[in-house]
Amino acid sequence: MPTTSTLVDAPVEVRDLTKRYGTVLAVDHLDFTVGAGQVCGLLGPNGAGKTTALRMLVGLVHPDGGESRLFGEHVRPGTAQLRRVGTMIEHASFVPHLTGMANLRAYWEAGGDRLADADVDGALAVAGLGDAIDRKVKTYSQGMRQRLGIARSLLGRPELLVFDEPTNGLDPQEMRAVRELLRRVGEEGRTVLLSSHILSEIEQICSHAVVMDRGKLVATGTVAELVAAGASAYVEVDDAARATAVLAALPGVERVVDESPGLVVRLAGATRPDLVAALVGAGVGVQTVTSRHALEEAFLGLVGEETERHVGKGA
Amino acid sequence: MLRLVRVELVKQLRRPRTWVVLAFVVLVPIIITIALKTNPPSINDGGGGGDGGSRGGGVRFFFLASQSGLLVPIATLRVMSEFFLVVIFCMFAGDSIASEAGWGNLRFLLTRPIGRTRLLAAKLIVAAFYAGLATVLIIVSGLIAGGIAFGYEGLNIPILGLSMSVGSILAKIALSGVLAAWGIAGIAAFAFMLSTMMDNSAGAIMGAVGAYVVLSILGAIDSIGPIRYGFPTFYNGAWVDLFRGQSFGGDMVRNVVAQVPYIIVFLGIGLWWFRRKDVTS
């Protein structure tokens, strides 16, 4: 049953959301909120339940328990609040025998709105499809479909954008273009909820993150907070054994892991200059000191090393 | 709602398959007319199928069509309503939701503020429109081709005891079109229901056409008993009685009534299913 909203104006509010497929608990009592203007990453390994959660959020899938709210209103299929939401759930799909423009028109007008009110030019400018917009979609590449999908989600200048793995299936150049586009959308002050299993993508684009694993909420907060919780450094030295002993004894170092040819040092207060000073002071030659992929470290700390195999470290 | 219906009409209209189907229904009466003109049937030639009973047999439509162009659409409708028109109806009905799901577009369509009942109603209206259009095109194409080839005269064949004025024939053509189309409505509703359950329109179409074939075969077996009178296919050729000197009634009424429970049940199940369905495609 719908409950009273605690944050009436929050674009996205998920409370105790649960979905079961047979014996598999795809989403397990999930709770999170995305505030206005946030660019929030929904992060988790493949199979974590991200897509199912997003489908429930926009009324495509019926939850078995809990509820989701858009702008304070309980979500039901076809709810009026969807007018304020642009979505791209999984890969972008279209009516293949229609042109890109005809697809945009069909999508928009199906909701009872006039295309003249949709700011088509703005959406097309972002997608950058040029003359291809008048070609049938079945002639499009995957990247073009994805860009048209983003244009479709931008029609009517929605206040909230929900994207599910928007760079899936794209080549590196197309990935970069889509990420740049998403960053621009976020900079315009719109709320974005973006699911991804690519850590660097979330780190590059998002201000906030919700971490899921096996259908459950693992952590939520700003990306900076999550990164701070898992800060670490990578050190290459001329004597790994001695460096390990020195660093392990240093205050503010939580753990030292041998990742040949270097060492990964998980930090709990110590800084990289502290590490260098300690090593040099102990007569250990330091060749390299760099920060490790911050969110990656944080993520692995949150969901465990077991998950590493299923998570992309970036592209 | 009107805007949604218009969107769906255009979506279907721009589909090459729609044009191919509509081209076929226009061409078949023309081909039949050419065949009748080049090789006119005699009065003893067959009546265009049927079992000789009250469900559509026993009328020599091809001979009658060669006597008056006004009968060409009826001869064509008689032939096409037995199978081809059924396939066309099932195609438009079975395609409606399943093709959107097959394209992966359904999940985007449903992220617009569209109630699922409203979407289903719009899809149903559009499917019914194109099915009706196919029926009308058969009649119009037949009238034009038949009129050019055999003229627009009334029918007066004392040896068969047939005498119909032009006005009477035209009225019967209109009623025949409605009854022939309505006779397929139960099976088309079944195709529509399947369409809400599948992500593959071919499955929905073939499922409904398969059901039609099975029911038609079973309906022709006397040993099945009175249960076959309840099949939606059993009376669907009864409109032919209009050209055997009968007015609207008897098996024609049974055909009309027989479709109603099937339409209500299949559309009801389709709506119930679609409203509770988790849309993942």
Domain ranges of chain A: 12-223, 230-310
| Interatomic CA distance for residues B266 and B271, integer angstroms | 9
In terms of average pLDDT, the best of B66-75, B85-94, B161-170 is: B85-94
pLDDT at A36 over 90: no
Residues of A in contact with B7 (CB under 8 A): 105-106, 109-110
Residue B160's pLDDT band, with cuts at 50, 70 and 90, is low
> What mean pLDDT comes out for the span B119-136?
96
Cβ of A89 and B103 within 8 Å? Answer: no
Q: In angstroms, what separates the C-alpha of A230 from chain B's closest C-alpha?
A: 35
Is residue B19 less than 8 Å (CB to CB) from chain A? no
Cβ of A87 and B16 within 8 Å? Answer: no
CATH architecture of A12-223: 3-Layer(aba) Sandwich (3.40)
Residue A296's pLDDT band, with cuts at 50, 70 and 90, is low
Is residue B104 less than 8 Å (CB to CB) from chain A? yes
Cβ of B115 and A77 within 8 Å? Answer: yes
Residues of B in contact with A93 (CB under 8 A): 103-105, 107-108
Going by the DSSP 8-state scheme, the letter that residue A118 receives in this structure is S
Residue A313's pLDDT band, with cuts at 50, 70 and 90, is very low
* Omega within 30 of 0 (cis) for the link into A261: yes
Say what the ipTM of the complex is: 0.81
CA B205 from chain centre, in angstroms, equals: 14
Token match 């009424």: residue? B253
- CATH number for the region A230-310 comes to 3.30.70.100
User: How many Cβ atoms sit within 10 Å of the Cβ of residue A8?
Assistant: 11
Nearest to A39 by CA among A204, A226, A151, A155: A204
The two structure tokens encoding residue B140: 């119009």
Is residue A115 less than 8 Å (CB to CB) from chain B? no
Closest residue to A83, CB basis, from B107, B109, B113: B113
Nearest to A286 by CA among A253, A254, A242, A256: A242
Scanning B39-115, the segments in alpha helix (DSSP H) are 61-67, 72-80, 84-95, 98-103, 106-109
Residues of A in contact with B102 (CB under 8 A): none
| Edge-to-edge order in the sheet of strand A73-74 | A24-34, A12-21, A65-70, A73-74
pTM for this predicted structure: 0.81
In terms of average pLDDT, the best of A120-124, B45-49, B126-130, B276-280 is: B126-130
Q: Are strands A39-43 and A208-213 parallel, antiparallel or unpaired?
A: parallel
| Interatomic CA distance for residues A97 and A84, integer angstroms | 28
Residue B152's pLDDT band, with cuts at 50, 70 and 90, is confident
Is residue B151 less than 8 Å (CB to CB) from chain A? no
Percentage of residues of chain B with pLDDT beyond 90: 60
Q: A with B: how many residue pairs have Cβ under 8 Å apart?
A: 97
> What mean pLDDT comes out for the span A157-166?
89
The H-or-E segment that residue A14 falls in is: strand A12-21
Is residue B9 less than 8 Å (CB to CB) from chain A? no
Token match 């760079």: residue? A167
Is residue A102 less than 8 Å (CB to CB) from chain B? yes
Cβ of B105 and A83 within 8 Å? Answer: no
Residue B203's pLDDT band, with cuts at 50, 70 and 90, is very high
Task: Please state, rounded to an integer, the average pLDDT across all residues of chain B.
Answer: 88
